[in-house]
A = this chain, B = another copy of it.
Amino acid sequence: MATRDPIRMFRDYLRRKGLRCTAERDEIVQALQRTSHHFRVEDVVADLAARGSSASRATVYRTVPLLVEAGLLCVGDALPGGEFTYEFVHGRDHHDHLCCLRCHERIEFAERGIELLQIDVARHHGYRLVGHHLDLFGICPKCQALEQGGG
């Protein structure tokens, strides 16, 4: 397994960018590993606070964009109020998402057929495909039921 330590990956990224490796940044990455797979920034803040970490809310907010750029996080969908969800993508197989517009349930799926067609599209345009980002939006079964019941 080539799964590398995410803390190390982030440090490598920071060094490449001439930024500094700090205890706070390490702690934030550790928090990502403890937090649920799909999470909000506030979840990380809460986790750190509960552990008595020295990393503050502001530092978390300042670090998240770096983590996204480093490839450790993906931006997910938005919650009412404009808050974002993120996904910790380190060391996991690629997958796409099916999201409920109502309750924001987030189902992961991998569809070989779609990926193959993507390769076709890229090739048709002469592109060498590197990656993709696919979100499907819809209404989940539960919310559909509520709808008919009189939601």
Contacts and interface: CB of A to CB of B under 8 A. Distances in A.
Copies in the complex: 2
B75 A98 contact: no
Contact of A109 (B121, B134, B138, B140): B121
A140 to B, nearest CB: 6
Contacts of A82: 78, 82-84
Interface residues of A, number: 42
A129 B122 contact: no
Contacts of A140: 125-127
B133 A121 contact: no
A65 interface: yes
A130 B125 contact: no
Nearest to A113: B117
User: Which 10 pairs between the two chains have the least Cβ-Cβ distance?
Assistant: A126-B141, A127-B138, A82-B82, A129-B138, A128-B139, A131-B137, A134-B134, A132-B136, A133-B135, A130-B138
